[in-house]
Structure 1
Amino acid sequence: MARYIFITGGVVSSLGKGLMAASLAALLQARGYKVRIRKFDPYLNVDPGTMSPYQHGEVYVTDDGAETDLDLGHYERFTGVSAHQGDNITSGRIYRDIIAKERRGDYLGATVQVIPHVTDAIKEFAQADTEDLDFVLCEIGGTVGDIEGLPFIEALRQLRNELGRDETCFVHVTLVPYIAAAGELKTKPTQHSVRELTGLGIQPDILLCRCEKPLPESERSKIALFCNVRKEAVIPALDASSIYAVPLQYHGEGLDAEVLRHFRMEAPGPNLSRWVDIVDRYENPEGEVTIGVVGKYVGLPDAYKSLNEALTHGGMANRVKVNVRWLDAELFEEDDSIIAAQLEPMHGILVPGGFGERGTEGKIASVRFAREREVPFLGICLGMQMACVEAARNSAGIAGASSTEFGATKEPVVGIITEWMSAEGLQQRSAGGDLGGTMRLGAYEAELSGNSRVASIYGSRKISERHRHRYEVNVAYREALEKGGLVFSGMSPDGLLPEIVERADHPWFVGVQFHPELKSKPFDPHPLFSGFIGAALRQARLV
């Protein structure tokens, strides 16, 4: 029978609940337990797929095509357990499904209410597909006291009553701020947060206290006294040297041991050699490279969360530090001198995904710089599409090459895809249809050319990668682009959709239609990022 760990947050947002859940799951996994992590998001969007990256950060895509919260990326990177559609639920999805049932008459004339119908749906989600699991960790988005989060808190209160204290554990992540003027850590915000949670019917069992200074024993005892928990259940959580040092830090503070004590479980000590090696590779690099990421959402690093982590993983694979320079693509549209000034110091250039026309000419200019100066280049999704447009314009003589995403064009090197085959069969879309959930989403296979660079990188002729896009490179331009030196080295199994392009006349130039960053892990770096950083390291040694 699975045991449930419910993770809530108080005082302020951005305390790191997702990272805490991922770290705790990794520690329990290191003790031999099978774990799964789920995220409850109280907002009314059905999923984050239509939300601006500036609103919500990146959209994390699972193998089965779910557009989910970025915290699921933490979960996968720390545990290696593939997330799926059933691991992220929103208020919007719950209300949509309930209203659909009401319209069909499924409730047989009953009044549909938050209690029991919404809370029952939340409980059903939490307990679905938990066979053969030892622990299910459920993170509640937002902060205790948020009005939209109340149905979730109530549902968890009911679950504790139904399952019993021995099968459920509440971990509350809170803030113990340091007031510089007083020279003290203040426990009152934590006390108020716990009081708020208790007023909703939930007494936390463990408190994870985020603080920037060591938590004195006296303050730890004070928190335990006023918050009605054991002193040992007050776990300090100081800032770590990197997110990958957090599992070791939390283990050192006794978090996993306290969770097992709560459940009256005994287990061998965790095997943390994997995390020791990861931290060693991160903290003791043998060189460094600088990568320029030319994007359009560079004002918010969370918009490229998985990308940033995948670059770090590539650095770990090569035992080098990766310095990422976030470069606004729009600036490259103003003056050619800016391009050279910004990109000449880079050992590698990466153009990531995105939507819309803004900044695309700057991305195309960055691709041209990488091609002409022979700087290692990796284009992802829109980045690959812009590499194809650049090749069409400057190598194949197609001056008007563009994408229909940016408006009508006589040379649609990139166009909207209206039909494709998936595991569920033929998928069809229209240009004027809904935006949410209508892209080519999830894992799709690709077949690689035997003599290609990417086949060597992957060590395989067949791969599976995750997609999230509505537009595709037009295969009708393949011959013209290949004559210009841009080779189509990866295609969909039916040969209709270009998946990878590369240049044989370049030290390292690869564009991919999918998002390889979504499958990279610190203990299993994605081969494309390992290869890209390796090429950047060779470039660094040349300059």
Structure 2
Amino acid sequence: MARFIFITGGVVSSLGKGLMAASLAALLQARGYRVRIRKFDPYLNVDPGTMSPYQHGEVYVTDDGAETDLDLGHYERFTGVPGRQSDNITSGRIYQTIIQKERRGDYLGATVQVIPHVTDAIKEFARADVDDLDFVLCEIGGTVGDIESLPFMEAIRQLRNDLGRGNSIFVHLTLVPYIAAAGELKTKPTQHSVRDLTSLGIQPDVLVCRCERPLPDNERAKIALFCNVPKEHVIPALDASSIYAVPLQYHEEGLDEAVLSAFGIEPKEEPELSRWTEIMDRLENPEGEVTIGVVGKYVGLLDAYKSLHEALVHGGIANRVKVHIRWIDAELFEQDEAEIAAQLEPMNAILVPGGFGERGSEGKIAAVKFARERKVPYFGICLGMQMACIEGARNTAGIAAASTTEFGPTDEPVVGLITEWMTESGLQKREAGGDLGGTMRLGAYDAVLSGNSHAATIYGGIAISERHRHRYEVNAGYKDALEKGGLVFSGMSPDGELPEVVERPDHPWFVGVQFHPELKSKPFDPHPLFASFIEAAVNQSRLV
């Protein structure tokens, strides 16, 4: 029977519940346990797919096509366990499911209420598909006291009784702030947070205390006394030099042992943490450095490109170099052409990431042109590939009016709305003006690479599977014209209809992909495209 670890947060948001959950799962995994992490999100959106990146950060996509919270990216990167649709649930999806059942008459005339119907649906989600696991970690979004999270708190309180005390524990992450004027850490916010939690019927078994200064032993004992937990179950969590140092840091503080102790499990041996020590050795002892210019639309909030940022770091780990990322607003290049050279000349490589909408598009096209003409390594992802194709059409294929229908009607739709495509379940169709949520080409799809292509060399084969999230595609009808201009279509969907990879053989490193390789990169298994891209940046830096 799987054991459950319910993770809650208090005082303020952004303390790092997702990172703590991922690190704890990695530590349990290092001890030989099979783990899975799930995220309960209290907001009323069915999923984050229609939310602005400035509101919620990136949308993380799983192999089975779920648009999920960015914390699932942390979970995958730290454990290597692929996320799936059943690992992220929102209040919106819970209520949508219940209302659909009510409309069908499934409740047989009963009055539908938060208790038991909403809480039962949450519990059903938590316990689904866990037969092959040792531990299921369930992170509750938001902070204790939020109105919208109350049904989730009640559900996990009930689950404690349903599962039995030996099969579930509560881990609470809270803040111990340092007050500079007083010159000391203050435990009162943690005490109040735990009091709020216990008022909901939940007594934490382990407390994780985020603090920017070391937690003195007497303060640790004070927290234990007032919060009714053993002193050794009060775990300090200080800022780390890298998120990949966090599993090692939590182990040093005894988090994994405290969790096992709360379950009454005696640790048999120390966890195997060599992969994490190797990662940190490469991060802390680089043999060089490179600077990557990311020309994007959402550079005001770095969480909008969270997986991309981490994948670039992974590429640095693979090459044992430090990666400096320069986030550049694409609109700068639309307002002042002189800015293009000023901003991009210092870069060892240029990347244009995914995005939606017309804003900043001409600046991205200008960045592609700079990289092509100056022979600077270029990596285009999703929209970045589409911009590379439009730039190639305009400047090397003689199609001056080349554009995309995403930005409005055009006589030369080099990029257009994808209206149908094949999946394992059959033909998928979409129409312009339809719903936005969940209607894109989502999840893992196969692609076939040309045997003599740069992409095939990078991957070490011609059959690949990558995750997608887009509703516009490069128009294969322009393939011949673009290839005459030097932009080769080196990867296609298995039916030969949809372009997946483009590259320039006459360029040191110029690759565009329709998919999102950053979603599958991990620190202990860097994605080959990012490893190769950073290698090209290293080579470029040696030419300067």
TM-score, normalised relative to structure 2? 1.00
Q: Please identify, of 7-16 and 157-166, the stretch whose mean Cα deviation from structure 2 is larger.
A: 157-166
- Residue matched to 2:203: 203
Amino acid at match of 1:107: Y
- Residue matched to 2:117: 117
Q: Secondary structure of 1:122's partner? A: helix
Identical-pair percentage = 82
Give 1:264 shift. 1.3
Confirm or deny that 1:517 pairs with 2:518. yes
Confirm or deny that 1:153 pairs with 2:153. yes
Amino acid at match of 1:427: Q
Amino acid at match of 2:410: T
Q: Secondary structure of 2:464's partner? A: strand
Q: Secondary structure of 1:197's partner? A: helix
Separation of aligned partners in 1, 2:132 and 2:443: 25
Separation of aligned partners in 2, 1:164 and 1:105: 33
Post-superposition Cα deviations, 1:72-102, rounded to whole Å, max 9, x if no partner, equal: 0000000000010000000000000000000
Q: Secondary structure of 2:532's partner? A: helix
Superposition map of 1:123-522 within 5 A? 123-266=123-266, 267-522=268-523
Give 1:170 shift. 0.3
Give 1:191 shift. 0.3
Separation of aligned partners in 1, 2:129 and 2:95: 21
Return structure 1 stretches of 4+ with deviation > 4 angstroms. Answer: none
* Cα RMSD, aligned residues only: 0.4
Gaps of 5+ in 2: none
Separation of aligned partners in 2, 1:76 and 1:438: 24
Separation of aligned partners in 2, 1:281 and 1:35: 27
Confirm or deny that 1:56 pairs with 2:53. no
Separation of aligned partners in 2, 1:339 and 1:48: 33
Separation of aligned partners in 2, 1:364 and 1:504: 19
Give 1:163 shift. 1.1
Give 1:265 shift. 1.3
Amino acid at match of 1:20: M
Post-superposition Cα deviations, 1:436-476, rounded to whole Å, max 9, x if no partner, equal: 00000000000000000000000011000000000000000
Separation of aligned partners in 1, 2:196 and 2:42: 18
Post-superposition Cα deviations, 1:490-536, rounded to whole Å, max 9, x if no partner, equal: 00000000000000010000000000000000000000000000000
Q: Please identify, of 275-284 and 260-269, the stretch whose mean Cα deviation from structure 2 is larger.
A: 260-269
Separation of aligned partners in 2, 1:141 and 1:408: 41
Separation of aligned partners in 2, 1:218 and 1:518: 43
- Residue matched to 1:6: 6
Separation of aligned partners in 1, 2:164 and 2:130: 17
Post-superposition Cα deviations, 1:255-305, rounded to whole Å, max 9, x if no partner, equal: 000111111113321000010001111111000000000000000000000
Separation of aligned partners in 2, 1:163 and 1:349: 52
Gaps of 5+ in 1: none
Separation of aligned partners in 1, 2:138 and 2:269: 24
Give 1:127 shift. 0.3
Amino acid at match of 1:191: Q
Give 1:321 shift. 0.2
Separation of aligned partners in 1, 2:120 and 2:8: 19
Post-superposition Cα deviations, 1:320-378, rounded to whole Å, max 9, x if no partner, equal: 00000000000110111100000000000000000000000000000000000000000
Give 1:426 shift. 0.4
Post-superposition Cα deviations, 1:395-443, rounded to whole Å, max 9, x if no partner, equal: 0010000000000000000000000001111000001110000000000
Q: Secondary structure of 2:438's partner? A: coil
- Residue matched to 1:22: 22
Q: Secondary structure of 2:331's partner? A: helix
Q: Secondary structure of 1:505's partner? A: coil
- Residue matched to 1:78: 78
Amino acid at match of 2:394: R
Q: Secondary structure of 1:43's partner? A: coil
Separation of aligned partners in 2, 1:282 and 1:94: 41
Separation of aligned partners in 2, 1:246 and 1:274: 13
Give 1:164 shift. 1.5
Q: Secondary structure of 2:422's partner? A: strand
Amino acid at match of 1:362: G
Amino acid at match of 1:483: K
Separation of aligned partners in 2, 1:118 and 1:283: 48
Separation of aligned partners in 1, 2:375 and 2:9: 48
Amino acid at match of 2:192: H
Q: Secondary structure of 2:309's partner? A: helix
Amino acid at match of 2:297: K
- Residue matched to 1:99: 99
Separation of aligned partners in 2, 1:428 and 1:91: 28
Q: How many pairs does the alignment contain?
A: 543
Separation of aligned partners in 2, 1:254 and 1:424: 47
Give 1:139 shift. 0.2
Give 1:161 shift. 1.1
Q: Secondary structure of 1:290's partner? A: strand
Q: Secondary structure of 1:63's partner? A: coil
TM-score, normalised relative to structure 1? 1.00
Amino acid at match of 2:184: E
Superposition map of 1:522-541 within 5 A? 522-541=523-542
Separation of aligned partners in 2, 1:268 and 1:133: 20
Amino acid at match of 1:505: D
Amino acid at match of 1:397: G
Amino acid at match of 1:28: L
Separation of aligned partners in 2, 1:145 and 1:454: 50
Separation of aligned partners in 2, 1:165 and 1:204: 12
Separation of aligned partners in 1, 2:535 and 2:388: 21
Q: Secondary structure of 1:107's partner? A: coil
Q: Secondary structure of 1:397's partner? A: coil
Separation of aligned partners in 1, 2:381 and 2:269: 43
Separation of aligned partners in 1, 2:163 and 2:369: 60
Q: Secondary structure of 1:490's partner? A: strand
Separation of aligned partners in 2, 1:425 and 1:269: 48
Q: Secondary structure of 1:493's partner? A: coil
